[in-house]
Structure 1
Amino acid sequence: MEYGLFAIAMIGVLLAHLELTKWKERVRAQQKQIDELCRAIGREALTSDTVPDEVREKALRLKRAGREVEAVKVVRQSTGMDLLEAKNWVDGLS
């Protein structure tokens, strides 16, 4: 009996996770569309991947000091980028 309840609970958790993943992907796709529209109308500053100047400068200082992990963390906290996006952004700094 307990194993049956546990199995049902695990299936419920798995289904909830799959649904959440689907919604996250949907939101990501919508944000990408919004960003493209902002660029198309010349409002680059409104895109979700725009990093404020002070954050860019701080990330650049950290990168030059060899503290890239901290630079990525600063960018993620400021912009909400996911890990890969923030790392690629920091890697592109010069």
Structure 2
Amino acid sequence: MDIAILFLTCLVIAGVMTVQTGLSRAERRAARIERKLDLVLGHLGLEEEIPRKDEIIGLVREGKQVQAVKLYRESTGADLLEAKQAVDRMV
């Protein structure tokens, strides 16, 4: 019985590690694709259309960086780091 429990525990741990590795691999690939797309847009002289961009820039000019990042996240669905970097680039 103890060997069966140990075996099942090892299988569960191996399965969790496999899922985590797959997700991080997919996330890294998506980030790489996004960087390439940003380079292509930059090369073509195109700019990503950001909803509520004027409001976000207004908040930054007022010194309300945190609110600007929050608004960026709400309007684009970006994560915190991506939103912070995007708002920093706007200034």
Task: With the length of structure 1 as denominator, give the TM-score of the two structures.
Answer: 0.67
Q: Distance in 1 between matches of 2:88 and 2:60?
A: 12
Q: Which runs of 4+ in 1 moved over 3 A?
A: 58-67, 88-94
**Is 1:36 aligned with 2:39?**
yes
What percent of counterpart residues are identical? 28
What is the CA deviation profile of residues 26-72 of structure 1, one whole-angstrom value per residue up to 9, with x for unaligned ones?
11101111111112112213xxxx523x244157438847571x432
Check the 8 A contact 2:69/2:87 in 1, yes or no. yes
What is the CA deviation profile of residues 3-35 of structure 1, one whole-angstrom value per residue up to 9, with x for unaligned ones?
321221121111111111011111110111111
Q: 1:62 to 1:35 in 2, by over 3 A?
A: closer
Structure 1 unmatched ranges of 5 or more = none
Q: Distance in 1 between matches of 2:79 and 2:27?
A: 12
Structure 2 unmatched ranges of 5 or more = none
The number of aligned residues is 88
**Is 1:57 aligned with 2:55?**
yes
Given candidates 5, 9, 16, the residue that maps to 2:19 is: 16
What is the CA deviation profile of residues 64-87 of structure 1, one whole-angstrom value per residue up to 9, with x for unaligned ones?
47571x432321232233322212
Task: With the length of structure 2 as denominator, give the TM-score of the two structures.
Answer: 0.69
* Larger-Rg structure: 2
The CA RMSD measured in Å over matched residues stands at: 2.7
